[in-house]
């Protein structure tokens, strides 16, 4: 009879993907943002707790590092509970802005000396760029975080314009070309705006890259290979559909040149990083048949997790639900 593995040796790879997740958890009586750094180990080096396909039953212990430099340990089920309660139906985190409390710029910001361009007619126009500027935002849950000016401007145009004027930034190249015009249209913008939410580029607390270069940079920053593994898997699957032509070859007769790119996502439940190689469909005629993939809602999956935990059901991704065998009487 083969020797059974210890629970700590049976690790569900999917839940190592908690690592690098950004989560708001209770700390010292308040809610604070931290990043899941690593699995926690006992003195003998063994991992603490065990992973489970059902996040409600996960007992793995993770080290969470907070923005103030401190660290604390949290179990997988606590992390999962707070992540799922803080995202919208698509898995994205949304915030309401209380106020902008600070700003900073780095050496990539355009200087006043280089803040204009000269047209062929000799006119000087401002460079329309927000590069190099970041704003410290305080959110409705009391937390603060730094975000690029371009993102905050897109979601909270009036607040950023007013802050720039109040803090003497209106003469900086990143601001000369838009706050005055924005404030002139202030009343019109307010009437057209209801509630403004800031939707960060994270899904289930995991930062989503926009390009393959960003995906590689994220893996390098976090010391993982999650995104690059997803790209390799997708390109391996897609390669069967392509015939590689020698560099410099002309487009074959009756063929259309279509640009392709990668889009990235995080799979609900397993937190698996996903990459999809997609074509620019607007550059060619639509297919005869429509391809459609249904997506289960976050609420349905969370209910399924609870039902599985209550009824002793084991989750098997992509298959079916199995009832766990009863423990034999000793």
**pLDDT per residue over 92-114, tens digit each?**
777 788 899 999 999 999 888 88
Task: Report the pLDDT averaged over residues 188-216.
Answer: 77
Q: Which residue has the tokens 């803040």?
A: 115
Residue 190 has a pLDDT of: 66
Q: What is the pLDDT of residue 43?
A: 87
Does pLDDT of 324 surpass 60? no
Judge whether residue 166 has pLDDT over 90: yes
**What does the pLDDT read at residue 48?**
87
| Percent of the chain with pLDDT strictly greater than 90 | 18
pLDDT at 113: 86
Separation between Cα atoms, residue 285 and residue 268, nearest integer Å: 32
What confidence score (pLDDT) does residue 232 get?
Answer: 93
pLDDT, greater one: 189 or 156: 156
Domains of the chain: 7-85 (2.30.30), 94-109+126-203 (no CATH), 207-242+260-307 (no CATH)
Q: What is the pTM of this model?
A: 0.60
Phi/psi region, residue 55 (left: phi>0; alpha: psi -120 to 50; beta: rest), is alpha
Helix (H) or strand (E) holding 32: strand 30-39
Determine the Cα–Cα distance for residues 71 and 224; give it in Å rounded to an integer.
Answer: 20
Q: What is the CA radius of gyration of the chain?
A: 25
Instruction: Give the pLDDT band (50/70/90) at residue 281.
Output: low
Instruction: State both tokens at 272.
Output: 């698996």
pLDDT at 34 > cutoff 70:
yes
First to last CA, the chain: 19
What CA–CA distance (Å, rounded) separates 173 from 111?
A: 7
pLDDT at residue 268 in the model: 78
How far is 146 from 138, CA to CA, in rounded Å? 9
Q: What is the pLDDT of residues 45-83, one digit of tens each?
A: 888 888 777 777 888 899 999 878 899 999 988 888 888
pLDDT of residue 289: 62
């Amino acid at each position: 009879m083969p020797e059974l593995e210890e629970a700590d040796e049976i690790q569900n790879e999917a839940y190592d993907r908690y690592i690098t997740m950004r989560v708001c958890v209770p700390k010292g009586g308040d809610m604070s943002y931290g990043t899941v750094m690593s699995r926690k180990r006992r003195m003998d080096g063994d991992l603490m707790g065990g992973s489970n396909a059902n996040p409600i039953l996960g007992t793995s212990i993770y080290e969470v590092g907070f923005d103030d430099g401190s660290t604390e340990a949290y179990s997988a089920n606590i992390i999962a509970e707070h992540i799922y309660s803080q995202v919208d139906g698509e898995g994205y985190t949304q915030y309401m802005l209380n106020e902008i409390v600070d700003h900073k710029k780095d050496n990539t910001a355009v200087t006043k000396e280089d803040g204009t361009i000269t047209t062929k007619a000799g006119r000087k126009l401002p460079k329309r760029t927000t590069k190099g500027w970041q704003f410290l935002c305080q959110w409705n849950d009391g937390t603060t975080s730094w975000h690029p000016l371009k993102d905050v401007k897109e979601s909270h145009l009036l607040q950023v314009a007013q802050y720039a004027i109040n803090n003497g930034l209106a003469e900086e190249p990143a601001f000369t070309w838009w706050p005055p015009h924005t404030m002139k249209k202030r009343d019109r913008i307010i009437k057209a705006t209801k509630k403004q939410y800031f939707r960060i580029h994270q899904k289930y607390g995991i930062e989503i890259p926009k390009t393959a270069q960003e995906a590689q940079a994220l893996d390098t920053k976090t010391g993982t290979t999650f995104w690059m593994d997803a790209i390799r898997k997708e390109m391996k699957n897609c390669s069967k559909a392509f015939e590689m032509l020698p560099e410099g070859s002309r487009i074959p007769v009756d063929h259309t040149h279509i640009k392709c790119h990668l889009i990235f996502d995080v799979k609900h439940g397993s937190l698996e990083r996903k990459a999809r190689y997609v074509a620019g469909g607007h550059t060619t005629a639509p297919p005869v048949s429509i391809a459609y993939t249904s997506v289960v809602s976050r609420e349905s999956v969370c209910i399924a997790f609870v039902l599985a935990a209550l009824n002793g059901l084991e989750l098997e991704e992509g298959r079916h639900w199995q009832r766990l065998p009863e423990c034999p009487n000793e």
